[in-house]
């Protein structure tokens, strides 16, 4: 309850100021946060040799520098993804660069991978007791001369400290980054990172985060590249550069990636399309526009084994996590599913 009251106050501040204040508050009160109650066993799912107590995760972008993963886990999340972390520190794009579209329950950001670099993330991740599932999202520096080398370097250093590693090749806020989704470049990237995993003998799962702005041909190419590789999963999707005509906020014309409720339909469509292209052979984390148990369930039925949220937390506060889990449990019971795993891809059966 206290955290939800605090969230209400923070929403009165400018968006980026509120975000930084939230992270600082969580760092301060983390030892005082009681662990959430035990989850309904129906919500548990096993992936990559790990047991997720529930399928609700925190998307990358909130905890860029791995400052508060354990505090967020205490709030009842099944897993947390830190980052995006780049090899070298960078300040990101000029402010203002984060905007709440309150009327649309949406956010636009053009942060530009602002983070303290992998060395600081290593310090923090190395100091934690590794209770709970924490992934790390990695990217390339804006001024890098060899972006694939950046991913390999970050993977080498961070993989031993993470439960999974996500290759973020879909942020719209680093010029040219989305070019890594092109088939040849994607194949080069996957070969390089998978080769590094073999070299350092790490068993950590590798995931790729894709954009929602892919056409049918691009999805076909990506599916072929993914099938030919040894990656372990996809995250669908990142933010969109498309602006639905339904947006009402005065900030709707700001450049950057749009997240939140207006992204839900498109991100879920891409999720379903990729699930079908891959015949359900690869676990997918569904992200984009989740603000209820109904939303989470829709993505699960379309092929997501896990889901992630972020923007909705900015509007609803941490109490949203428990509400989503309660609603999701009820939906599983209603439809006769004994577990989340049974419901994955149910829309296509």
Indicate the DSSP class of residue 90.
Answer: B
Q: Within 10 A of 21 (CB to CB), how many other CB atoms are there?
A: 14
Cβ(112)–Cβ(98) under 8 Å?
no
Residues 6+ apart with CB under 8 A from 334: none
Is the whole model's pTM more than 0.85, yes or no? yes
Element (H, E) at 53: none
> What's the CATH fold of domain 2-348?
TIM Barrel (3.20.20)
Annotated catalytic residue 171: yes
CA angle 63, 48, 190 (to 5 degrees): 75
Instruction: Supply φ then ψ for residue 341, to 5 degrees.
Output: -55, -35
pLDDT at 3: 53
Tell me what percent of the chain is helix, strand and coil, each rounded to the nearest 5: 45, 15, 40
Helix (H, G, I), strand (E, B) or coil at 294: helix
Pairing of strands 257-260, 106-109: antiparallel
The H or E element spanning position 325 is helix 319-334
Residue whose structure tokens are 């947390």: 80
Dihedral sign for Cα atoms in the order 234, 261, 22, 88: positive
Of 30, 91, 170, 171, catalytic? 171
| Nearest partner of 348 among 284, 290, 261, 263, judged by Cα | 284
pLDDT in tens, the chain (349 residues): 445 545 566 777 999 999 999 999 999 999 999 999 999 999 999 999 999 999 999 999 999 999 999 999 999 999 999 999 999 999 999 999 999 999 999 999 999 999 999 999 999 999 999 999 999 999 999 999 999 999 999 999 999 999 999 999 999 999 999 999 999 999 999 999 999 999 999 899 999 999 999 999 999 999 999 999 999 999 999 999 999 999 999 999 999 999 999 999 999 999 999 999 999 999 999 999 999 999 999 999 999 999 999 999 999 999 999 999 999 999 999 999 999 999 999 999 9
Q: What span, in angstroms and rounded, lies between the C-alpha atoms of 243 and 316?
A: 23
**H-helix or E-strand spanning residue 151:** helix 147-158
Residue labelled with tokens 């995993």:
197
């Amino acid at each position: 309850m206290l955290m939800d009251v605090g969230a209400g106050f923070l929403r009165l501040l400018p968006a980026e100021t509120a975000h930084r204040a939230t992270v600082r508050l969580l760092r301060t009160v983390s030892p005082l946060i009681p662990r959430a109650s035990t989850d309904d066993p129906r919500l548990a799912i096993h992936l990559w040799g790990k047991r997720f107590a529930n399928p609700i995760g925190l998307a990358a972008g909130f905890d860029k520098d791995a400052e508060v993963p354990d505090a967020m886990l205490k709030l009842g999340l099944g897993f947390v993804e830190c980052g995006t972390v780049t090899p070298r520190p960078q300040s990101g794009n000029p402010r203002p660069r984060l905007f709440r579209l309150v009327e649309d329950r949406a956010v636009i950001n053009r942060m530009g991978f602002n983070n303290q670099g992998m060395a600081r993330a290593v310090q923090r991740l190395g100091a934690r007791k590794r209770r709970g599932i924490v992934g790390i999202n990695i990217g390339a520096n804006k001024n890098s001369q060899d972006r694939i080398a950046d991913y390999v370097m970050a993977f080498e250093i961070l993989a031993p400290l993470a439960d999974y590693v996500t290759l973020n090749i879909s942020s719209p806020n680093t010029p040219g980054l989305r070019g890594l989704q092109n088939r040849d470049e994607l194949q080069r990237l996957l070969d390089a990172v998978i080769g590094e995993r073999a070299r350092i003998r790490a068993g950590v799962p590798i995931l790729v985060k894709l954009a929602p702005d892919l056409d049918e041909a691009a999805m076909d190419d990506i599916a072929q590249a993914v099938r030919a590789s040894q990656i372990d999963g996809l995250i669908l999707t990142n933010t969109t550069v498309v602006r639905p005509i339904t947006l009402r906020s005065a900030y709707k014309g700001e450049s950057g990636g749009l997240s939140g409720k207006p992204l839900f339909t498109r991100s879920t469509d891409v999720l379903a399309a990729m699930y079908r292209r891959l015949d359900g052979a690869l676990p997918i984390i569904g992200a984009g526009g989740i603000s209820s148990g109904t939303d989470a369930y829709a993505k699960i039925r379309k092929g997501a084994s896990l889901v992630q949220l972020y923007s909705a937390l900015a509007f609803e506060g941490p109490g949203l996590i428990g509400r989503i889990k309660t609603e999701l449990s009820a939906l599983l019971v209603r439809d006769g599913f004994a577990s989340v795993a049974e419901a994955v891809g149910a829309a296509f059966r």
